[in-house]
């Protein structure tokens, strides 16, 4: 039986509420990513975590990743801004 769990879920939820309030697009994108993560965890039979999952940390990373609309637009148009694996 797996003893690893999700931690800081309430803190993550509050962080999302505060971080995305003035940008409805950011709030929607981050919220969908967050819910997809929770759905994947709760719908997996054995909750395949190999370690505790800190949702506050995940929340901070998601907001940081998705907050720059210009970069997101360029990615959606097929560009790879800041890609590390370019030849």
Pick the residue with more confidence: 83 or 34?
A: 34
Strands of the chain (E only): list them. 6-7, 53-54
pLDDT in tens, 58-82: 989 888 888 888 888 888 888 888 7
Domain ranges of the chain: 6-76
pLDDT band at 33 (very low <50, low <70, confident <90, very high): confident
pLDDT score, position 2:
62
Please answer whether residues 83 and 74 qualify as being in contact, where contact means their C-beta atoms are separated by less than 8 angstroms. Answer: no
């Amino acid at each position: 039986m797996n003893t690893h769990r999700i931690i800081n879920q309430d803190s993550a939820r509050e962080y999302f509420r505060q971080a995305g309030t003035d940008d409805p697009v950011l709030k929607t994108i981050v919220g969908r990513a967050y819910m997809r993560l929770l759905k994947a965890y709760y719908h997996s039979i054995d909750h395949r975590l190999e370690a505790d999952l800190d949702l506050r940390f995940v929340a901070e990373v998601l907001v940081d990743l998705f907050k720059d609309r210009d970069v997101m637009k360029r990615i959606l148009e097929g560009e790879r801004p800041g890609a590390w694996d370019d030849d």
